[in-house]
Structure 1
Amino acid sequence: MLTAEIRRRFLDHFAARGHTVVPSAPLPTPDPTLLFVNAGMVPFKPYLTGETTAPWPRAVSVQKCVRTLDIEEVGKTTRHGSFFQMNGNFSFGDYFKEEAVALAWELSVTPVADGGYGLDPGRIWVTVHHGDDEAAALWRRVAGLPDARIVRRGDEDNFWSMGVPGPCGPCSELYYDRGPAFGPDGGPDVDEDRFMEFWNLVFMQYERGEGPGKSGYPVLGELPRRNIDTGMGLERMAALLQGVDNIYETDEMRPVLDHAAALAGTPYGRDAASDVRLRVVADHVRTALMLLADGTAPGNEGRGYVLRRILRRAVRAVRLLGHEDPALPELLPVARDRMAPGYPEVADDFERISQLAYAEEDAFRATLRSGTTVLDTAIGEVKSRGGRTLPGERAFLLHDTYGFPLDLTLEMAAEQGVEVDREGFTALMTAQRERARADARARKSGGVADAAAFRPVLDAHGPTDWRAWDELTTDSTVLAVHGPSGAALPLAREGEIVTVVLDRTPFYAESGGQESDAGHLVAASGEAEVLDVQRPLPGLVVHQVRITAGELTPGETVRAAVDPEWRLGARQAHSGTHVLHAALRQVLGPAALQSGSYNRPGHLRLDFPWRGALSPAVRSEVEEAAARALRRDLPVGVRWMPLAQAKEEGALALFGETYGERVRVVEIGGAWSRELCGGTHVEHASQIGVIALTSEGSVGAGMRRLEAAVGIEGFAYLARERDLVSRIAEQLQAPRAELPERIGTLLDRLKAADRASAELRRQAVEARAAELAAAAREAHGVRLVTATADGGAAEARTLALAVRDRLPQRAPGVVAIGGSTGSGGAEGGSGEDRAALVVTLNKAAQQAGWSAATLVKRLLRGRGGGSAETAQGGGITARQLPATLEAVPGALTEG
C-alpha cells in the first residue's frame, strides 16, 4: 500500500467518524521554543493545554514534522528520519479512552478491501502504563487481546507530559510483530526492531506540577476536560504495509535512494558504509524539499542553518559515494514526484524550490574544493606531530574564511581519527559575535560604539523633549557632541561625522519600521546635515550628523529643521502601510497579520504569514481595497488609551513589542484600521496619494512580502509602467488591449523555432552518430568509438547514447565521448576550459564484464561515477581530453 493511500485511509477513517480534517501546519512554527513542528500535536497545543477553545470537538490530521537533534543517527537505524509525517486523531473534551482504543483497533485490523490496514490481530501487542488498569481492561474487551500481549511499563515509557507543568496522562502504544527474521520473540520488552511501535495513544487526563524530566513531579489532580492525542508514524506504517526493512525503503524514499545509487555506481546492499550514506541522501533530500516548500531558505542561523546543514550533508554523502557532479538536479525531482501526491505545492513551487537548492549545492561544492584542502593539510600537521586534536583556531579559520561549518569539520576530522577543540572554536565564535553586536550597536546609536556613553547626558539633563508628532522645527540647545568612539568632544569641525544630543528635537527617531527623518541643524557657528536619528537609551534621542559648514559646539543654540518633503513622504508611506495591512486582512482574512514592515518616503514594505504566492487577481483585489480607502478619504486619528482598552477595542499590537500602560492608537476609518503605533501619519487617507504594488514574494519561513510605491513615487511608478506598455504597443504595432494575445503569438513562434532548432540538432546528432558507429574500430574484443562532442557534458552524453544504440547489439560495444564545458575560468582560476567524459556500454559489453563506471574512474583517476551502463566524470581540462580518449583502449585491459 503506497504512503499516499495510507494517509488517505487514515483521514477517511476518522472523518467518517465525526472528526474535522485539519490540514498540516507549515513546518516553521510560531512557537518561540521550536524551530519546526516536531510532533503531530504541536499545532493543537493551545487547545490541549486549555489556552484556547478548540473550534471542533474532534479532529484528524497528517502533520509534517522535522526533528534534527539526532541527525547523526539518520541512516544508521531503521527508524530515524529528519522529516516524518504523523497521523493523529484528537479529542478536545469529547471522547476518551474507550473510543480512542476502539478507533485505533478498528483501522489497524479492518481488511484492506474494507478500507483498513489489514494488520493481523494476532501479531499486535500493546503497552500500557503500569497503573492504568482501565486501558488494560479496554484492550482485553475491545480488541480481545490476551494479557500476554498487554505489557505494563513505567513513567519513562508510558506516561506523557510536555516536561513542564500542565496536562499529562498515561499512554498506550501499539506494536506489530514483524516476525523472527527481525529479532527474538518476547514482545517489545525483548526487541523493538522485531516489535515495531506504530501508534501511540495519549490519554490526557491529569495536571502535573513542577518537577524534573519525565518522572518525579507531582500529579495535582484531574483536568476539567480530558483530551485524546494520538500519533501514528506514517513512515513506520508504510514500512509495515510495504514489507520493507526500514523507512528508507518505503515508496516515498526508496526511489531517491536508488537514483543516488545509480549515480554513484554503488548498489544498495553492497556494504554497510555505503548503505548508510544512501539512506542519508534519501532522507535529507526529501527533508530539504519539504522545508524549502514551506518557505525556509538556506542561511547561517536558526531554521536556515538547519536546512543548509541538511542539504550539505546530502551533497557530501553523494560525493563520498563517488559521484562528483552536481547531485541535487538529479535527486530533487525524484523526491518531488514521490511527495507531490500528498503535497501538491512541492510541484507547483518547484522552480523556486529547485533554484534555492541548486544554488546551495553550487556554493557548497566551491566550499568543499577550497576548505577540504585546508582541512586535510591541518589534519596532516596534527598527525605528523603525533597529536589527535585539531586546534580550535584552525576550525574557526575554516568556518570564518572558507565557510566550512563546524559540524562538517567535526565529521571529516572524525573520519580521519582526529578530534576538534570545540571549546576553543566556541570561544573564538563568541568573540566574533560580540564584535558583530558591538558594530550593530554602533550603527544604531549614531556611530557610537557603546550606547552607555550617553548615560551621563541622560542622567544630567533628563529625557529628550521629543516633538516629532507635532512640529517640523524647534529651537534647541546642543547638550553634547560625541565622536565615533563614544568620547565627548569639545567641538566638531566641517567634514566630521559626529553624534549630537539636543534638549528638544522635531526629528523622528527610527522605530516601528519607519525610517528616521532627514533635515538640518543650523547654528550661528555652523551647519550640519542630519544623517540618522536613533534612541540608544529609553527616553534619549541622538542625531548622527555631518558638519557641512563651520563647527558645532556643546551649549550653543541650533535651529533643528526636518525636511518637510521628507516628512510628508514618510507620513504617506507609514499611513500607506496601515492601509495596505487593513486591505490585505480584508481580502485574505485575519490570518494575514503584519509580522514586519519598513517604510521610507515613497516606499513601503510589509511582511505577513501566508502559504503560497498571491495570484494576480488577489493582488489586484488588495490594491483595489486600498485604493477605495484612499478614495473615501477615510479620516486618520490618534487616541491615547489604556492598553487593556486598546485590546478590548481590537487594536492590533504587532511584532510582540512591549507596550506601556497607556498606548498610542492610530485609526484609519475608525475600526477599519486600528493599530498601536508610534509613527507619523497623514490626516486623511487621500493625502497618501496612491499605493501601487510593485512586488510580492516569499521571504522564507512561510512569510510573504508586499512592496509598494507610495505618493508621488507611486504616480511615477505607474507612469513608467504606462510608458513601457506604450513602447511595447508601438514596437508590436498593436493596440494595448491586444498586447497579451500578440505577445502570446510571438512566444508561440519562438517555441516553434526552438523546436525546429532542436529537431535540426537532433538530426545532426543522428547523422554524426551513424557516421561514428559505422567507423567503430575493434579493440580488445569490443567495438570501440571515441570522439568529442560540440559542447559540454549534456551534448557528450546525448551523442554517446545515440552512437551506442547504433552499434551491433550482439557484439560488445563501448563508446567514450568527451565534451568541453567552457567553465574553467570560473573554477580554480586556471582560465582553461574544463572537460567532461561520458562512457556508455551496450548490454553485450556489460554481460562480458565491463563497467562504464569502472572505466570512467580508471580514465579520470577516480573522478566520476555512474552505473555499469553509463557513467561520466570531469576534473580534466579540454587540453587533456585528447590524451584521455587515446587512453580508452588501455583502460579496457586493466584488471
Structure 2
Amino acid sequence: MRTAEVKRRFLEHFEQRGHTVAASAPLPAEDPNLLFVNAGMVPFKPYLLGQVTPPYPRAASVQKCIRTLDIDEVGKTTRHGTFFQMNGNFSFGDYFKEEAIRLAWDLVTKAQDDGGYGLDAERIWATVYLDDDEAYGIWRDVIGLPEARIVRRGKADNFWSMGVPGPCGPCSELYYDRGPAYGREGGPEVDEDRYMEFWNLVFMQYERGEGSGKEDFPILGDLPARNIDTGMGLERMATLLQGVDNLYEIDETRPILDAAARLAGKRYGEHSGHSAAESHPDDVRLRVVADHVRTALMLIGDGVTPANEGRGYVLRRILRRAVRAMRLLGYEDPVLPELLPVARDVMAPSYPELAADFERISSYAYGEEEAFRGTLRQGSVILDQALDTAEDRLGAATAFQLHDTYGFPIDLTVEIAGERGLAVDVAGFRELMSEQRRRAKADAQAKKSGHADTGLFRAVLDESGPTDWLAYETLETDSTVLAIFHEGAPVPVARDGQIVSVVLDKTPFYAESGGQDSDAGVLEGPSVSAEVLDVQRPVKGLVVHQVRVVGGELAAGTPVRAKVDPEWRVGARQAHSGTHVVHAALRQVLGPAALQAGSYNRPGYLRLDFSWRGGLSAETRSEIEEAANLAIRRDLPVDVRYMPLPQAREIGALALFGETYDENVRVVEIGGAWSRELCGGTHVDRSAQIGTVALTGESSVGAGQRRIEAVTGLEGFRYLARERDLVTRIAEQLNAPREELPDRIAALVERAKKAERDAQKLRDEITAGQAAQLARDAVDINGVAYIGTATDGDARALASSIRDGVPGGRAAVVAVLAKSGFVVTTNPAARDRGLSAADLVKAALEGKGGGSPEMAQGKPPTDGAKVLDRIADLIPSRLA
C-alpha cells in the first residue's frame, strides 16, 4: 500500500465518521515557542486550549511536521526522521477515550478490502499511563486486548505534552510486533525496534506549566474541555504495510536513497541486518541523505530559505549534512541536482505544489550546495592553517570563527582536527553560539518591545482591548494615552528628554511590518510635545510608539493629538508601491522564478530580495529599471481589495513565503493583474505618484538569493542628478566627451595594470637576485646547505626561491623570518637525509607550528635571530 493511499484511507475513515478534514498547515509554526510545526495538534492548539471556539466539533488532518532535536539519530534508528507526516484525529470536547480508541482500532484492524489497513490484531500491543485505569479497562474489556499486551508506563513515555506550556494529558500508544527477526520478545519496554510504535492517542485533559524535560513540569489545572488529539505516523504505518525495515525504505524515501547509492557506487543493505543497530555506516549515511533531501524539499516548498539563524539555519544544516554525507560516501560532485528531482517526484502525488514550484525550490537548494562546496574549499585552507599552529586542541574562538565567518560546520571541524590528532573545544563553541543567538534574539525583541516585557503589553491589551488602528484612513487623530513604559517598566509620567514606549487607544501611525518602516510624526497635547521615533506591534493587536518627549510632560490617561508627518508618509507610500513595481518588473524580465524573498522600504528607498542564481548583467538591470518606470509612466491605478485567502490565491495574488496570513487578506493591485500581491502596507493611489525608480545596486545576499536596491520619488531624482554631476566632472577632468568616457577610462585602467605588472616583475627580479646571493652564501652543516635570513616581504616565496637556487643537488634547509610568519623549507635531498621542515619548526618553536616535511610555518617568534640559530643547531641531530 503506497503512502499516498495510507493517507487517503485515513482521511476517508474519519470523514465518514463526522470529522471535518483540515488541510495541513505550513511547516513554519505560528506558535512563538516553536520554529516548526512538530506535532499534528499544533494548528489546533487554540481550540484545544479553549482560546478560540472551534468551527467544528471533530477534525482529521495529515499534518506536515519537522523535528530536529534528534537530528544526530537520523539514519541510526527506525524511529527518527526529520520530516514526517502525522495523521491525526481531534475532538474538541466532543468524544473522549472510548471512542478515540475504537476509531483507531477499527481502522488499523479492518481488512484492506474494506478500506482499512488490515494489521494482525494478535500482534498489536497497547501502552497506557501508570494510573490510567480507564484506558486500561477500555483496551481489556471493550476492545478485548489480552492483559499481557497492555503495558503501564511512566510519565516519560505515556504522558504527552508539546515540551512547552500548553495542553497535555495521559496517552495510550499502539505498537506492532514485527517478529523475532527484529529483536527480543517482551513488548515495547524491551525492544522498540521489534515493537514499532505507530499511533499515539492523547487524552488531553490538563494544561502544563513551565518545566524542563518530559517529566519535570507542573500541571496548572484542567482544560476548559476534555479533548482528543491522536497521531498516527504516516511513514511508520507505510513501513508496516509495505513490509520494509524502516521509514527510510518506504516509497516516498527509498527512491532517493537508491539514487544516492548509485551515485556513490554503494549497495544499500548489503552488510546490514533488519535491526537499525546492525546497520553498516554507509547505510546510515544513505538514510541521512534520503531523509535530509526530502526534508529540504518540504522546507523550501513551505517558504524557508537558507540562513544563519532560526528556521533558515535548520534548513542550511540539513542541506549541508546531506552533501557531507555523500562526500563521506566518496561522492564529491554536486549532489542535489541529482537527488532533489527524485524527491520531488515521490512527494508530488501528495503535494502537487512541489512540482509546480520546483524551479524556485531547486534554485535555493542548488545555490546553497554550490556555496557550501566553496565553503569547504575556503574553510579547509583556514582550518589547516589554524591546526598547523595549534598545540593540543583547537580553541572555541577559532572553531566559532570558522563557522560564523566561513560557514564551516563544527562537526566537520571536529572530524578534520581528529584526523590530525587534535581535539576541539566543542563546549566553548556551543557557548559562543548560544551567546550569539541570545544577543540576536534580545536585539530583535528589544526593538519590538522597547525593552519592556511583552507580558506587560499583554496586560494592557487584556485591560483596554486592541488598538484602534487608523493608518489606512487618516494621518491625524485625537487619542488617549493608555500606558507609558520607561526602561521596561510602567511609569505614570514621562518628562522632557526621556525616550519612552507609549500605548494609545487609537493611532494613525503605521507600525513596522511587511518590510515597511514605521511612520514618523508627533504626539501633541495641551502641555506636551513628543517626537515619534518608532512604532511596533510587540503583541498582536497592540500598537506601541517609541517617543522622545521634547517639551512638557506626557502622562498616562491624558489626551493627545497623534499626527503622522505627511511628507514621511508620502515617501513611504512611494517606496512601498515602488517595491511592488520593481517586483513585477523583475518577474516580467526574468520570469516567474524571480520571486520576492523579503523586502524593506522607507521614504525614498527600497530593497528587494528575490530568488535567483547568478548576478544580473548591466543590460538586465537597465531592462528591469525601464520596465518599472514604464509602469510608473502609464499611471496605472492602485486598488486595494479584501477577500478570503483561497480566493486571493485563486486570482494569482503573490504571497511572501514564510509569512502567515489571516483567513481574510488584503490584496494590492497595480494595473490589475500586472502586479497583484498580498500586502498590509500603505500605497499611492496611482503608479505615477511614485515619481521614478532608480536602481542603485544589485548584489548577492546568500546562496540562490539576490538583492536589488533602488531610490524612489524625490530621492530618485536627486540620485540621478548626482550621477549626472559626477559624469560631468569626470568628463571635464579627462577633457573628453561623455560618449568617449568608457573607452578613455578603460585605457587608463589598462595603463595602470601594465604599470603594476612591470613593478611586480621588477620586484620578482630583485627577489630572485637576493635569493641567488643568499643561496651562494649558504652555511655548510655536515654537508647540508643552511640559509637563515629575515625579510620584509613574502617569507614563503623567498624561502622557496632560495631553496630552489641551491646548486649541485646539495641538501638544503632554508629558514626565513618575516612579520607574517616563520617559514622553514627543505629540498628533496635534505628530506632523503631525514630532515623534515615540520619537525624542525616544532622543535625550534617548542611544539608550536606545523606543516609538511617540505614546508612548515609558525607564528613569528620574539627572539627571531636565536630561532634562526636554533634551526642550524638542530640539523646535525636530525640527520639520518
Task: Sort the TM-score into its range (normalised by shorter chain).
Answer: 0.5 to 0.7
What per-residue deviation string (whole Å, max 9, x for no partner) do you get for residues 324-357 of structure 1? xxxxxxxxxxx99999999999999899869974
Q: Does 1:891 align with 2:855?
A: no
Measured at CA, do residues 725 and 347 of structure 1 come closer, stay the same or move farther in structure 2, by a change above 3 Å? farther
SS in 2 for 1:229: helix
Distance in 2 separating the partners of 1:660 and 1:718: 41
Q: Which of 588, 592, 604 is matched with 2:606 structurally?
A: 604
**2:823 is aligned with what amino acid?**
L
1:535, 1:771 → 2: CA distance? 73
Q: Give the corresponding residue for 2:445.
A: 441
Which of 759, 762, 777 is the aligned partner of 1:760?
762
User: How do residues 644-663 of structure 1 correspond to structure 2 at under 5 angstroms?
Assistant: 644-663=646-665
Contact 2:367/2:704, CA 8 A, preserved across alignment: no
Aligned to 1:875: 859
- Structure 1 portions without partners, runs of 5+: 1-29, 36-49, 52-67, 75-152, 166-207, 242-275, 281-286, 315-334, 377-394, 823-834
Are 1:821 and 2:819 an aligned pair? yes
In the alignment, which residue of structure 2 is the partner of 1:501?
Answer: 503
Q: Equivalent residue for 1:328?
A: none
Distance 1:783-1:537 versus aligned 2 partners, 3 A rule: closer
TM-score, structure 2 as length reference: 0.57
Aligned to 1:483: 486
In 1, are the aligned partners of 2:613 and 2:703 still within 8 Å (CA)? no
Q: How much has 1:856 moved relative to structure 2?
A: 2.8
- The offset of 1:470, in angstroms, is 2.1
Cα deviation digits, residues 156-187 of structure 1 (max 9, x gap): 9xx9xx9999xxxxxxxxxxxxxxxxxxxxxx
- CA drift of 1:527 comes to 0.9
Structure 1: distance between partners of 2:804 and 2:236: 65
Report the secondary structure of 2:661's partner residue.
coil
Deviation at 1:770? 2.5
Query: Residue in 1 aligned with 2:255?
Result: 229
Deviation per residue, 1:207-258 (Å, 9 max, x gap) = x9746747774569xxxx99993655668766689xxxxxxxxxxxxxxxxx
2:724 paired with 1:725: no
> What is the Cα deviation at residue 297 of structure 1?
8.5
Q: 1:777 to 1:551 in 2, by over 3 A?
A: closer
Q: What secondary structure does 1:744 align onto?
A: helix
- What is aligned with 2:625? 623
Give yes or no for contact 2:819–2:860 (8 Å, CA) kept in 1: no
Name the CA distance, whole Å, in 1 between partners of 2:538 and 2:337. Answer: 53
Task: Please list, as runs of the form range in 1=range in 2, the aligned pairs for 1:72-91 lying within 5 A after superposition.
Answer: none
Alpha-carbon distance in 1 for matches of 2:712, 2:387: 43
Cα distance, 1:863–1:871 mapped onto 2, change above 3 Å? farther
Among 463, 466, 469, the alignment partner of 2:469 is 466
Residue number in structure 2 paired with 1:853: 838
Percent of aligned pairs with the same amino acid: 50
Displacement of 1:466 in angstroms is 1.8
Shift in alpha-carbon separation, 1:307–1:607, aligned structure 2, 3 A? closer
Q: 1:709 Cα deviation (Å)? A: 1.2
1:798 corresponds in structure 2 to: 797
Distance in 2 between residues matched to 1:853 and 1:366, nearest whole Å: 9
Deviation at 1:635, TM superposition (A): 1.1
SS at match of 1:887: helix
Alignment partners' CA distance in 2, 1:865 and 1:417: 13
Write the distance in 2 (CA, Å) between the matches of 1:340 and 1:797. 39
Aligned match of 1:736: 738
What's the CA shift string for 1:480-520, capped at 9, x where partnerless?
A: 33333242x33222122222222222111111111111101
Say how many residue pairs are matched: 606
**2:457 alignment partner in structure 1:** 454
**Closer, same or farther: CA 311–625 of 1 in aligned 2, 3 Å:** closer
Q: Does the C-alpha gap of structure 1 residues 471 and 864 become closer, same or farther in structure 2, counting only changes over 3 Å?
A: same
Over 3 Å counting, the alpha-carbon distance change for 1:590 and 1:741 in structure 2 is same
Residues 1:537 and 1:844: Cα distance change in structure 2 (over 3 Å): closer
Q: Deviations over 1:521-540 (max 9, x none)?
A: 11112111111222233333
The residue number in structure 1 matching 2:140 is none
State the distance in 2 between where 1:349 and 1:373 align.
25
Query: Any idea what SS the aligned residue of 2:659 has?
Result: coil
Structure 1 residues 434 and 237: CA distance shift in structure 2, 3 A: closer
Which structure 2 residues correspond to residues 525-540 of structure 1 after superposition, within 5 A? Answer: 525-540=527-542
Task: Measure the CA separation in 2 of the matches of 1:875 and 1:72.
Answer: 42
Match of 2:492, SS state, is coil
Is contact 2:397–2:429 with CA below 8 Å preserved after alignment? no
Which segments of 5 or more consecutive residues in structure 2 lack a partner in the other structure?
1-25, 36-61, 64-69, 77-179, 184-192, 200-230, 244-250, 268-280, 286-291, 324-330, 339-364
Judging changes above 3 Å, is the alpha-carbon distance between structure 1 residues 803 and 608 closer, same or farther for their aligned structure 2 residues?
A: same
Deviation at 1:627, TM superposition (A): 0.9
**Does residue 840 of structure 1 match 2:829?**
no
CA drift at 1:752? 1.6
Amino acid at match of 2:801: A
Distance 1:214 1:743, change over 3 A: farther
1:201-212 matches, within 5 Å, as: 210=233
Q: C-alpha displacement at 1:565, in angstroms? A: 0.8
Greater Cα shift, 690-699 or 366-375: 366-375
Give, in angstroms, the shift of residue 701 of structure 1: 4.3
Secondary structure, in 3 states, of the residue corresponding to 1:683? coil
Question: How far has the Cα of 1:718 moved from its partner?
Answer: 1.9
Q: Distance in 1 between matches of 2:815 and 2:419?
A: 39
Q: CA deviation at 1:406?
A: 8.9
Task: Provide, for residues 98-142 of structure 1, a one-character-per-residue CA deviation record: whole Å limited to 9, x for no partner.
Answer: xxxxxxxxxxxxxxxxxxxxxxxxxxxxxxxxxxxxxxxxxxxxx
For residues 457 and 533 of structure 1, the distance between their equivalents in structure 2, rounded to whole angstroms, comes to 16
Q: Is the 8 A contact 2:779 2:786 kept in 1?
A: yes
Match of 1:585 among 584, 587, 594: 587
Q: Is the 8 A contact 1:608 1:703 kept in 2?
A: yes
SS at match of 1:471: coil
Q: Is the CA contact (8 Å cut-off) linking 1:448 and 1:482 kept in structure 2? A: no
Q: CA deviation at 1:693?
A: 1.4
Deviations 1:28-59 (A, max 9, x none): xx976999xxxxxxxxxxxxxx99xxxxxxxx
The verdict on how the C-alpha distance between 1:608 and 1:364 changes in structure 2, with shifts beyond 3 A counting, is farther
- Contact 1:476/1:558 (<8 A) preserved: yes
1:117 alignment counterpart: none
Range with greater deviation from structure 2 (848-857 or 521-530): 848-857
C-alpha distance in structure 1 between counterparts of 2:607 and 2:376, whole Å: 26
Q: Deviations over 1:608-644 (max 9, x none)?
A: 2222222222222211111110111111111222333
Contact 1:818 1:881 in 2 (8 A): no
TM-score, normalization by structure 1: 0.57
Q: What residue in structure 2 maps to residue 55 of structure 1?
A: none
Q: Which amino acid aligns with 1:451?
A: T
| Partner-residue secondary structure (3-state), 2:593 | coil
Distance 2:429 2:778 in 1: 59
Per the alignment, do residues 541 and 362 of structure 1 end up closer, same or farther by CA in structure 2, a change over 3 Å counting?
farther
Provide the rounded CA distance (Å) in 2 between the counterparts of 1:592 and 1:755: 42
The structure-2 alpha-carbon separation of the partners of 1:360 and 1:727, relative to structure 1 and needing over 3 Å to count, comes to: farther
Superposed CA offset, 1:571-621 (max 9, x none)? 011101111111111112222221211111111111122222222222222
Partners of 2:816 and 2:822 within 8 A in 1: yes
- 2:819 corresponds to which letter in structure 1? T
Distance 2:508 2:420 in 1: 63
In structure 2, relative to structure 1, the CA distance for the partners of 1:537 and 1:729 (3 Å cut) is same
Three-state SS of the structure 2 residue aligned to 1:861 is coil
> CA 1:301–1:853 in 2, change beyond 3 Å: closer, same or farther?
farther
TM-fit CA distance, 1:685: 0.7
Deviations 1:81-102 (A, max 9, x none): xxxxxxxxxxxxxxxxxxxxxx
